[in-house]
Structure 1
Amino acid sequence: MVKSPLSFKDSRTRLVLASMVLSTLLTAAVLLLVYITANRTIEGETRSVVSAELTGLADEYERLGLVGLMVAIERRLPTASERDALYLLADRSGKTLAGNLKRWPEGIAAGSGWVDLELRRTETDQLVPISAASILLPGGERLLVGRDALARQQFDRVLFHSVALALGAALALSILTGWLLTRLVFSRLKDIADTAETIVSGDLSQRMPQRGTGDEFDQMAGTLNNMLDRIEELVSNLRTTSNSIAHDLRSPLSRLKQRVVALAEPGKSDLDREVDIARATAEIDHVLRVLGQLTEISRAEAGLGREQFEPVDLERLVNDAVELYEPVAADKDVRLEVTGRAAPIMGHRPLLSQALSNLLENAMRYAPEGTAISIELREDGPFALLSVRDRGPGVPVEMLSQLQLPFVTLDPARSDRNSGLGLALVAAITRMHGGGFSAQNADPGLKAVLKLAQKP
């Protein structure tokens, strides 16, 4: 069902509305602050000017008396219109003595502070809004000085309309910005969702699209693609493993069945029965060995055992393995040589020992008599590299990338001693330790390399 563009259940609509509301509120707060600040600044300046004029006229009164004050007011009147200045000097009864206002405002006592009111000007005979302050003179006269507030009210209206216009523009801009933002975000999400739907349908070769911008979406797509590469690899390995298990276990189980059936045959001698039992036991041991190795690979792939990670001294690990395999190597007339150094890593000691043992057994299987097997340790940035090299015939180039797959072996017969799971277990252990396994022909021989993160 297609959602309505205005539905509040649509995350795009909610995001646009949230962007609009937040942007509008922020703009309104800023414009309101500007409006209040401008009004307070103008009012403060007006009051300062009026207070200064009141003080000046009061000084004129003290120095020159009432007549001198009247002269001072009359002297200011020619320029009063330009300054929007208003003056009113009245006697005790409220009669106008000087100024450009007709009469003293009713209900306003002299010295009552700052007031906003309407009075009639003498030159225009019109009521005008004024803001004024007044004082009571020592002789009982009343003096009022103010400013015509009409211009200020017009300014307030212009400022208010400007603020409203700016707020409307900000609202429109926030809607446009929110729409563009959601279009950008949801178009990328739609690409990812469409690709994910294709992958869910079974096409594991699909990858999340990247636009080459290097932004967070590209980084996320890269991470997801790495995950998909790993999933595709695991699924491929699972298919190969399943097929190989069916192939490798069918033969020993069939032979085991034959041995069991043979035991029930009449006329069998005790010696023949013992031979059949021994062969059946060997088949069972082979099946158990394969299942045990598969279990170890599965546990390593799943990362089980990470809680048992501890500091592992690779040099000591190598020396212990060499000490263990030297007698076997001596029987085959093969030397074990150790070179290099590496700092300790955090790892699973038994599994690392198992991986090294598998490499040594594999190397000794193909090492010619009178040659050496080289074991090298070195560091490569945050990784420790442990390599084992024999001087044997090497591996066909097309097989190098398949050595770490389960049930892959150079021996087509897949003898009981080699089920093709040793290097698969080694690769799983290296991935568990944040690294990887690689093999390359060394001319002569094969060089297997374990790459282990020092801090997985």
Structure 2
Amino acid sequence: MDNLRLSFNNSRTRLVLASMILSTLLTATVLALVYVTANRSIESETRSVVSAELTGLADEYERRGLIGLMRAIERRLPTAADRDALYLLTDRFGVNLAGNLKQWPENIAAGSGWVDLELRRAENDELVPVSAASVRLPGGERLLVGRDALARQQFDRVLLRSVGIALAIALALSVLTGWLFTRLVFSRLSDIANTAENIVSGDLSRRMPMRGTGDEFDQVSGTLNTMLDRIEELVSNLRTTSNSIAHDLRSPLSRLKQRVETLSDPSKTEQEREVDIARASVEIDHVLRVLGQLTEISRAEAGVGREQFEPVDLQQLVADVVELYDPVAVDQGIQLEVTGTATLILGHRPLLSQALSNLLENAMRYAPQDTTVTINLSEDGPYSSLSVRDRGPGVPQEDLSRLQMPFVTLDPARTERNAGLGLALVAAISHMHGGAFEASNCNPGLEAKIKLARKP
């Protein structure tokens, strides 16, 4: 009983049963419709022929009288067997006058409509099923015209047998079709489930199998693989971030601990304590700045703030940021240049301003004196692109893909000024806007570009 219950709890079994029941019901409905339609057609045709023949014989009686009617019936009898035709003409007292039936059926009044009954043939006294109609003639005579229903009954049996066979075949085919269908479906689902189990076990490099058919399963697998790529990227960034946090915050926190501990040293002068407090404040500011940037990156990667998206004029946004940084650039001997145009996009204006500010600060940090930093706006299909290019030394080609990773900086030593989170925040903001961050060497200089979907 438990095994049976488990079998019915199996999705494959339920799907096969559902397919079998549905196919069987559909086939049974169609076959029943065919059976009923065929019977009704045969019966309608039989009634039409009998009614026409009955009317014709009644007309013959009116034109030629009883003798003429008897002769008309006698003329039809030689071919009656071939047509399964049955005739019976009696006088008002029930005496047979003509026909191939033995006697008028009991309890059947002439003119009572279409009837199904059993009568005996005159030639061999054989009892046969009859479908007939009758009429009472003006002289009191009774006329019955019908058809032998034995052939029809045999046809019914053959038709029912055929329907039964067809239903059995349909049932077998539905089971086979359901089994093949579930085998196809569940084999794909099994592949996906097995891959998912490996991923859950920690193997994030695994991807959902695709057979290249372009069907719905391949589409789902493709979507899941895209999601897994993003998850693997986020997990990798998380690992890097965790390791980097441990590395980058350990030193300032250790120094902070030392500063605090020295404050209790009675040999310290008041001036030395003030210096230690100032240095401890610097360490605290650095830690808070790092944690604040990490929070901004996490919020951007989680899409927090999408509800604040509004139409943003990138040209105006660039003009505002350039106006803010232009005095700093002039002091460094750098010229800021804006080129290109872009249409309105839907975005988070403060975060986009932050992203551009980070790109400008990064470019101005490495741009040589008396050079130009170019901010370019362009259209790229469904994206609006914003890039910042300096004329500095650029980045080694193998390090370009690492620029957007948290705590990654190409400076030999990290300082309070650069924790390696600026471009990571830029990448997170571009992903939040349905785009991407790209970096490329221009020889000379580095171009950092963010692509922003106009309708994320």
Partners of 1:159 and 1:4 in 2: CA distance: 37
Matched, 1:419 2:402: no
**What's the CA shift string for 1:19-45, capped at 9, x where partnerless?**
000000000000000000000000000
- The residue number in structure 2 matching 1:195 is 195
Partners of 2:45 and 2:246 in 1: CA distance: 96
- The residue number in structure 2 matching 1:339 is 339
- The residue number in structure 1 matching 2:156 is 156
Q: Secondary structure of 1:447's match?
A: strand
- The residue number in structure 2 matching 1:224 is 224
Partners of 1:138 and 1:40 in 2: CA distance: 33
Partners of 2:304 and 2:185 in 1: CA distance: 38
Cα offset for 1:3?
6.3
Partners of 1:102 and 1:124 in 2: CA distance: 9
**What's the CA shift string for 1:141-183, capped at 9, x where partnerless?**
0000000101111111111101110000000000000111111
Partners of 1:332 and 1:148 in 2: CA distance: 116
Superposed counterparts of 1:221-300, under 5 Å = 221-300=221-300
Give the conservation status (yes or no) of the 8 Å contact 1:334–1:373: yes
Q: Secondary structure of 2:160's match?
A: helix
Partners of 1:268 and 1:149 in 2: CA distance: 127
**What's the CA shift string for 1:340-374, capped at 9, x where partnerless?**
11111111111110000000000000111111111
- The residue number in structure 1 matching 2:396 is 396
- The residue number in structure 2 matching 1:30 is 30
- The residue number in structure 1 matching 2:59 is 59
**What's the CA shift string for 1:211-257, capped at 9, x where partnerless?**
11111111111111111111111111111101100110111111112
Give the conservation status (yes or no) of the 8 Å contact 1:391–1:445: yes
Cα offset for 1:380?
1.3
- The residue number in structure 2 matching 1:110 is 110
Sequence identity, in percent? 78
> Amino acid of the residue matched to residue 233 of structure 2?
E
- The residue number in structure 2 matching 1:126 is 126
- The residue number in structure 2 matching 1:68 is 68
- The residue number in structure 1 matching 2:147 is 147
Give the conservation status (yes or no) of the 8 Å contact 1:311–1:346: yes
Matched, 1:309 2:309: yes
- The residue number in structure 2 matching 1:42 is 42
Superposed counterparts of 1:402-413, under 5 Å = 402-413=402-413
> Amino acid of the residue matched to residue 216 of structure 2?
E
RMSD over equivalenced CA pairs, Å: 1.2
Partners of 2:126 and 2:3 in 1: CA distance: 63
- The residue number in structure 2 matching 1:186 is 186
Q: Secondary structure of 1:33's match?
A: helix
Give the conservation status (yes or no) of the 8 Å contact 1:263–1:273: yes
Instruction: Compute the TM-score of the two structures, normalised by the length of structure 2.
Output: 0.98
Cα offset for 1:4?
5.8
5+ residue gaps in structure 2?
A: none
Cα offset for 1:265?
2.0
Q: Secondary structure of 2:416's match?
A: coil
Instruction: Compute the TM-score of the two structures, normalised by the length of structure 1.
Output: 0.98
Give the conservation status (yes or no) of the 8 Å contact 1:338–1:375: yes
Cα offset for 1:434?
0.8
Q: Secondary structure of 2:448's match?
A: strand
5+ residue gaps in structure 1?
A: none
> Amino acid of the residue matched to residue 89 of structure 2?
L
Cα offset for 1:332?
1.1
Cα offset for 1:5?
9.3
**What's the CA shift string for 1:75-118, capped at 9, x where partnerless?**
11111111111110000011110011111111100000000011
Give the conservation status (yes or no) of the 8 Å contact 1:90–1:97: yes
Partners of 1:214 and 1:430 in 2: CA distance: 30
- The residue number in structure 2 matching 1:168 is 168
Q: Secondary structure of 1:8's match?
A: helix
Give the conservation status (yes or no) of the 8 Å contact 1:403–1:423: yes
Matched, 1:374 2:383: no
Number of residues of Structure 1 aligned to a counterpart in Structure 2: 455
Change (3 A) 1:6 1:200: closer
Give the conservation status (yes or no) of the 8 Å contact 1:16–1:178: yes
- The residue number in structure 2 matching 1:357 is 357
Q: Secondary structure of 2:438's match?
A: strand
Partners of 1:141 and 1:6 in 2: CA distance: 75
Cα offset for 1:270?
2.9
> Amino acid of the residue matched to residue 102 of structure 2?
K
> Amino acid of the residue matched to residue 263 of structure 1?
L
- The residue number in structure 2 matching 1:431 is 431
**What's the CA shift string for 1:296-339, capped at 9, x where partnerless?**
11111111111111111111111111111111111111111111
Cα offset for 1:11?
0.9
Partners of 1:156 and 1:253 in 2: CA distance: 96
Change (3 A) 1:302 1:3: farther
Q: Secondary structure of 2:9's match?
A: coil
> Amino acid of the residue matched to residue 239 of structure 2?
R
Partners of 2:196 and 2:203 in 1: CA distance: 10
